[in-house]
């Protein structure tokens, strides 16, 4: 059973025993699986963007765009990475702990410093990428649980509207657990591999 199916079954567990039973395969064609597929990446993106999850945080050097014309009184414009969800820190190479002034403008991150380095929270794919599998197995159990409870909230209006309040309460509990988990890990930094994305 894949980790995606585990997330789906955790989401469905909020509603108690159902006529669908336990889902065995992501290719199941039941209506509830269609709803789960429809909302799973939205739930994952939302939950991953809430905190600086160790498994979803990376540090990269940004390459200035070809059109480095001053944008809104900023000297440099950088393209956001393709898997960008939220910026955690923008700095220069000399001191990664210091945050430099920046702004997000559409598809750009703009600043007066170059080179620009960002620590950012990246999207984690639940559905298979064209080149390979998902990143669900890289997620902590706490993150997977939070995603499953968010997914339960998102499908509740169509799957079992009477249970929406319970789904919200379960999500709130999972969110508090995730807050505690991330506060405990605040000083743990993953190895920083600098990748030039220009």
pLDDT of 153: 96
- What's the mean pLDDT when you consider all of the chain? 81
What was the pLDDT predicted at 12? 92
Note the pLDDT of residue 68.
55
At 46-73, the pLDDT tens digits run 999 999 888 888 888 887 775 556 677 7
In whole angstroms, give the CA distance from residue 111 to residue 196: 17
pLDDT of residue 77: 84
pLDDT in tens, 111-168: 888 778 888 888 887 776 554 445 777 788 999 999 999 999 999 998 888 999 999 9
């Amino acid at each position: 059973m894949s980790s995606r199916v585990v997330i789906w079954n955790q989401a469905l567990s909020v509603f108690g025993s159902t006529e669908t039973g336990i889902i065995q395969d992501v290719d199941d064609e039941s209506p509830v699986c269609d709803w789960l597929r429809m909302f799973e990446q939205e739930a994952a993106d939302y939950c991953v963007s809430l905190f600086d999850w160790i498994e979803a945080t990376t540090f990269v050097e940004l390459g200035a765009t070809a059109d480095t014309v001053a944008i809104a009184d900023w000297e440099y414009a950088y393209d956001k990475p393709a898997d960008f969800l939220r910026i955690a820190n923008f700095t220069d190479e000399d001191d990664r702990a210091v945050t430099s002034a920046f702004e997000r403008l559409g598809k750009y991150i703009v600043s007066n410093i170059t080179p620009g380095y960002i620590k950012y929270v990246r999207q984690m794919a639940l559905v298979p990428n064209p080149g390979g599998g998902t990143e669900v197995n890289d997620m902590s159990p706490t993150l997977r649980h939070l995603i499953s409870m968010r997914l339960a909230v998102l499908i509740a209006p169509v799957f079992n509207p009477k249970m929406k309040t319970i789904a919200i309460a379960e999500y709130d509990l999972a969110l508090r657990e995730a807050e505690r988990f991330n506060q405990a890990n605040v000083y743990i930094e993953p190895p920083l591999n600098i990748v030039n994305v220009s």
